[in-house]
């Protein structure tokens, strides 16, 4: 029975080596149980060793799974904070510039700009309070807006035109599409202040939604394709759902194109 004992011993921790796991405690228990089998002649210690290995692996994998979940949630909240702050501050900056420019000659326009600043800052504060509340307590979820709030985004960027209809969407796809539009409009305001037209277009297919945001703000300090936290965040959101995203300059400005599966995560 000696050869069977060694086979059993090897089988106990071979999966640990294959999975990149080699806890000292499990190896020690395995060695001691094998020695006890030789001393006592009973199978009990040999049965206990694989059980200890399985329990140890389960605990390690559970710890790693929880760590991954925490990291994913941290990155998700970081993207939410970035989107809220970047868009709101860009809008506030533009409206503040308008107010300062027309304050003397057209005070009524300055008042409109100040009201827009108040509205944008109020929305940003509400979203930030909800997001930071999740970080403080660890309970609930960060706010997840959807395309039902599309009109708010469009009103904040003059010259924006919406074409097509997204239709009914699963909640994750709806939220991702909203954030893609939000970040694209933010980039247009920040990097193409001379743009005269921004077009948000939805094309719905049976199993996918194609979303395109283009502007005619050629030139300026535009981010390279794939660079920047905003574009990276958009791509992460879309790819997490099994979609694709392309962003880069065109002959007349800048374009963001996202294809989202309507069926949700794959």
What letters, b where the CB count within 10 A reaches 16 and e where it falls short, cover 154-173? bebbeebebeeebeebeebb
Which candidate, 184, 182, 203, places its Cα nearest to that of 195? 184
207, pLDDT greater than 80: yes
13, pLDDT greater than 90: no
Residues near 13 by beta carbon (within 8 Å), at least 6 away in sequence: 22, 26, 27, 30, 53
Q: For residues 127 and 134, what is the distance between their CA atoms, to the nearest angstrom?
A: 11
**Greater model confidence, 144 or 225:** 144
Q: Read off the pTM.
A: 0.60
**Residue 212 — pLDDT band, cuts 50, 70, 90?**
very high
217, pLDDT greater than 70: yes
Q: What are phi and psi of 219, to 5 degrees?
A: 80, -170
Residues near 143 by beta carbon (within 8 Å), at least 6 away in sequence: 80, 126, 127, 130, 131
- CA-to-CA separations, 76 to 27, 58, 197, 265, in angstroms, rounded: 39, 27, 31, 16
Average pLDDT across the chain, whole number: 77
141, pLDDT greater than 60: no
pLDDT of residue 265: 45
pLDDT of residue 21: 55
Task: Calculate mean pLDDT across residues 51-55.
Answer: 67
Spatial contact of 249 and 219, defined as CB atoms under 8 Å apart: no
Q: For residues 216 and 193, what is the distance between their CA atoms, to the nearest angstrom?
A: 10
């Amino acid at each position: 029975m000696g050869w069977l004992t060694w086979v059993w011993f090897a089988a106990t921790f071979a999966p640990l080596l294959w999975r990149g796991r080699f806890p000292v405690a499990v190896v020690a228990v395995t060695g001691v149980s094998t020695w006890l089998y030789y001393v006592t002649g009973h199978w009990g210690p040999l049965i206990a060793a694989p059980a200890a290995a399985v329990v140890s692996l389960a605990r390690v994998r559970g710890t790693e799974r929880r760590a991954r979940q925490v990291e994913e949630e941290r990155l998700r909240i970081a993207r939410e904070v970035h989107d809220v702050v970047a868009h709101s501050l860009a809008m506030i900056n533009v409206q503040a510039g308008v107010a300062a420019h027309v304050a003397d000659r057209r005070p009524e326009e300055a008042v409109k700009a100040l009201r827009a600043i108040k509205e944008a800052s109020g929305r940003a504060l509400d979203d930030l309070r909800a997001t930071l509340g999740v970080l403080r307590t660890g309970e609930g979820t960060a706010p997840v807006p959807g395309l039902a709030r599309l009109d708010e985004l469009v009103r904040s960027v003059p010259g924006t035109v919406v074409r097509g209809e997204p239709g009914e969407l699963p909640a994750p796809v709806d939220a991702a599409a909203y954030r893609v539009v939000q970040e694209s409009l933010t980039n247009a305001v920040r990097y193409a202040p001379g743009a005269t037209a921004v077009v948000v277009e939805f094309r719905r297919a049976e199993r996918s939604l194609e979303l395109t945001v283009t502007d005619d703000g050629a030139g300026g300090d535009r981010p390279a394709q794939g660079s920047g936290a905003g574009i990276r965040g958009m791509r992460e959101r879309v790819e997490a759902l099994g979609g694709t995203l392309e962003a880069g300059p065109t002959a007349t400005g800048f374009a963001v194109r996202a294809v989202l599966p309507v069926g949700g995560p794959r």
